[in-house]
Structure 1
């Protein structure tokens, strides 16, 4: 698959420095489940901490919201996991269409999106993104999304895990980090390593490369209950699990809201430093 062609973007700045670029109308192959994304995202010193359309997973698009199963439609991209069949090529991809900016400032925006499949709107999203300086080496990305069911009846969100693939409950907020020669460290306040952190809730999850650290935290009670989806060995990525053990239902007219705050820091953070920065970021 080819890289996206030139599309409209906006820059996000922190302390007068550009730290992220947001593509809100990307021109992408339908098999990638086209959707707005943040890329590149960098530390304050300019180190990249996202990756776009990597060879191992071309449908990974920097930072954004992606759900592999919305009432049977694929808003994640790539193949669809089918129970008793495994990953399957299907013509069931949806698209997230930017419809408007309610607010657009150098340090954030409020956006309206329409999640559509087969020419029908399934969900309407309001996305609020803001950046804030924490220290001279760290800043915070505050990302809130609300998904409202605009269909006449109930629908539900699923994942490969709810469709039979153990350990693959991805879907929701997702951050694809750059792949490097060394596997990134991952740890929480009381444990470390992919096996220990993956598929479990935690107040925060730190993800560290050679010259950077990302610290993810759920900033609302529903978000804190969502287990984390973590990959380090196959590829580097962290996300939330909206549908971990069972499908997440949304009634007609109902809304699901999640807020994730991510610390983006230069250098390697200790547990104490990660916890301190998260507390500051969530209350900033």
Structure 2
């Protein structure tokens, strides 16, 4: 297994490639990402640098505002100005793998902007089989403030753009001719699910289904950021209604488990696979 592009495997089958040191322009906020991620049958369920959002990079962790620095990529939403091109992009830099094998890895990263390290991250990724039709990607990230002073994490929503509270875990799914179905255990449709809290959220196309579950109490408190009609993507919202403070030495931890299944799942099947993946 190459330490520069590790390949995740489930039952010997490759299901995801992790790009450790991507060569990307600064405005895309360079960062490690998983792409392509596939179902067990080999169907791709991620997209990299699509025309609609060049800074969407498969599966990873991205925050649009860390004390004014953009670790998401693209334009920055500025209050009373709207989306604005700024020279404020940061980068996530791989430091080392603490563990690396076909079932997953533990990685250390530095979040750097304007020549200074703001956050240190430990990222844990694991791939687990869930029978012949599905597998689960378990991703935990912890962000520690290493500046010696207070930091806060924001989003376009906290900067004045309603409904745009993205930031944290993000999965850019593959765009297809027909938008995927969106549902939770008791709601359906992008408008009903976006911005709400739910134990799990599903995106279901004709050939694949992704089911996202927040595992820890803190993760379950975060609203879901959901897109389907314009493009398919699901992420967490670390800073939904207000900025998230991170005191000196403080750490923010979140864990999301994603079920990756072949075919279109219904509610009962999605819920059962989530229970198998996270034990509840």
Q: With structure 1 as the length reference, what TM-score do the two structures score?
A: 0.97
Aligned residues: CA RMSD: 1.0
Q: Which residue of 1 aligns with 2:174?
A: 178
Whole-angstrom CA distance in 2 between matches of 1:111 and 1:22: 11
Q: Which residue of 1 aligns with 2:56?
A: 60
Q: Which residue of 2 aligns with 1:189?
A: 185
Whole-angstrom CA distance in 1 between matches of 2:114 and 2:151: 15
* Large movers: runs of 4+ above 6 Å: none
Q: Deviations over 1:239-267 (max 9, x none)?
A: 00000000000000000000000000001
Q: Deviations over 1:107-164 (max 9, x none)?
A: 1000000000011000000000000000101000000000000011110000000000
Matched, 1:275 2:271: yes
> What is the 5 A alignment of 1:62-211?
62-211=58-207
Secondary structure, aligned partner of 2:23: coil
Q: Which residue of 2 aligns with 1:4?
A: none
8 Å CA contact 1:8–1:26 kept in 2: the answer is no
Whole-angstrom CA distance in 2 between matches of 1:247 and 1:132: 34
8 Å CA contact 1:73–1:93 kept in 2: the answer is yes
Structure 1 residue runs of 5 or longer lacking an equivalent are 1-6
**Cα drift, residue 283 of structure 1:** 3.0
**Cα drift, residue 209 of structure 1:** 1.4
Aligned length: 278
**Cα drift, residue 272 of structure 1:** 0.6
Whole-angstrom CA distance in 2 between matches of 1:231 and 1:259: 20
Secondary structure, aligned partner of 2:274: helix
Q: Which residue of 2 aligns with 1:236?
A: 232
8 Å CA contact 1:157–1:247 kept in 2: the answer is yes
Q: With structure 2 as the length reference, what TM-score do the two structures score?
A: 0.98
Structure 2 residue runs of 5 or longer lacking an equivalent are none
Whole-angstrom CA distance in 2 between matches of 1:17 and 1:226: 33
Whole-angstrom CA distance in 1 between matches of 2:128 and 2:227: 27
Whole-angstrom CA distance in 1 between matches of 2:55 and 2:241: 24
